[in-house]
Amino acid sequence: MPEKSSTVSEDTLASLERGLDALTTEVADRRPWWRRGLGTVVPPLCAVAFLLAVWQALVMAKVKPDYLLPSPAQVWASVSEQWNLGALPRAIWLSVSRGLFGFAVSVAVATPLGLLVARVRVVRAAIGSLLSGLQTLPSVAWVPAAILWFGLSPMTIFVVVLLGAVPSIANGMVAGIDQIQPLHLRVGRVLGARGLTAARHIVLPAALPGYLAGLKQGWAFSWRSLMAAELIAQSPRLGTGLGQLMDTGRELTDMSLVFGMIVVILLVGVAIDQLIFTPLERVTLRRRGLAQA
């Protein structure tokens, strides 16, 4: 031990530090889980109840005749009829599996593309602005071209989904990498991370929040594009997805069915977002202290 002894003894310093740590650390939210859950579940349920009430009120005020504005009960009856017939489960399965498959292919294409745009200056200069520009193009605009290229085949639908989702996901990746704090890259260099090691331990994890936001948006675009394509492209070869089922409702002037399908499409899109992407995003952000518990 050098003569330059510490001013306070070992034990005093240790307890001093522990006291300071206790004082400066925040206490976690100790409300029971169901109380915290209540706070997130009740408000949206109230909002839905309110919308249903407004809808019912409009029906009762007879703003439009009931074949143009069916009541919630009529829509419910129509949806449960389709469900019992088995047409609705089949349509949901067909659309969801198409949507998720198209989304998965989009992820596989967009991820390396995003990495390339973010890291290679020439590539960014060449297609960077094109990629963000493509995001503003409604993917339904691709439907006529896709039909001419691929006919009324599943390929048409996949191409439209792909063109809708890839720009969002790739842009998310680019944004995620652009938003990395320079300090974190510097730390990586100090610790000795270079090239691929740096990519694996620093760049990719640091870019994850932006990437996840891109995935979330990519799913929304996939689902939207899919519905646009299904509504326009009608053929026995394509089977009956949710879009086609809705179009059947239009042909039969069955407003309850059309309304029901709008609600189902909305619910499926929201459900997948809430079951897969939102939890993933929330866990990631919360771990980094970027979101409230």
Partner 1 sequence: MTLTDIAPDAVAAKTDAPAVRVDGLVKRFGRGPLVLDGVSLEVSAGEFVCLLGASGCGKSTLLSLLAGLDRPTSGTVTVTGGRAGLMFQEPALLPWLTASRNVELALRLADGSARGARSWAARRERRAEALRLLAVVRLENAADKRPHELSGGMRQRVALARALAQRPRVLLMDEPFAALDAITRDVLHEELSRLWAETGVTVVFVTHNVREAVRLGERVLLMSSKPGRIVEEYVVDIDGERRIESPDVAALSIQITERLRAEIRRHA
**Which residues of this protein are in contact with partner 1, per CB under 8 A?**
1-8, 10, 13-14, 16-18, 20-21, 24-26, 183-184, 186-187, 189-193, 197, 201-202, 205-206, 208, 284, 287-290
DSSP state of 273: I
Taking the least distance from each CB to partner 1, the nearer of 164 and 210 is 210
Show Cβ contacts of residue 73 under 8 Å, excluding neighbours closer than 6 positions.
Answer: none
Closest distance to partner 1 from the beta carbon of 3 (Å):
6
Q: Which two tokens stand for residue 63?
A: 């703003």
Taking the least distance from each CB to partner 1, the nearer of 205 and 239 is 205
Q: Which two tokens stand for residue 187?
A: 């730390």
Show Cβ contacts of residue 176 under 8 Å, excluding neighbours closer than 6 positions.
Answer: 206, 207, 208, 209, 210, 211, 213, 214
Show Cβ contacts of residue 164 under 8 Å, excluding neighbours closer than 6 positions.
Answer: 139, 142, 221, 222, 224, 225
Closest distance to partner 1 from the beta carbon of 80 (Å):
46
Closest distance to partner 1 from the beta carbon of 202 (Å):
7
Taking the least distance from each CB to partner 1, the nearer of 65 and 289 is 289
Closest distance to partner 1 from the beta carbon of 25 (Å):
6
Measured from the Cβ of residue 267, the count of other Cβ atoms closer than 10 Å reads 11
CA 147 – CA 276 distance, rounded (Å): 31
Closest distance to partner 1 from the beta carbon of 208 (Å):
7
Taking the least distance from each CB to partner 1, the nearer of 148 and 183 is 183
Taking the least distance from each CB to partner 1, the nearer of 27 and 60 is 27
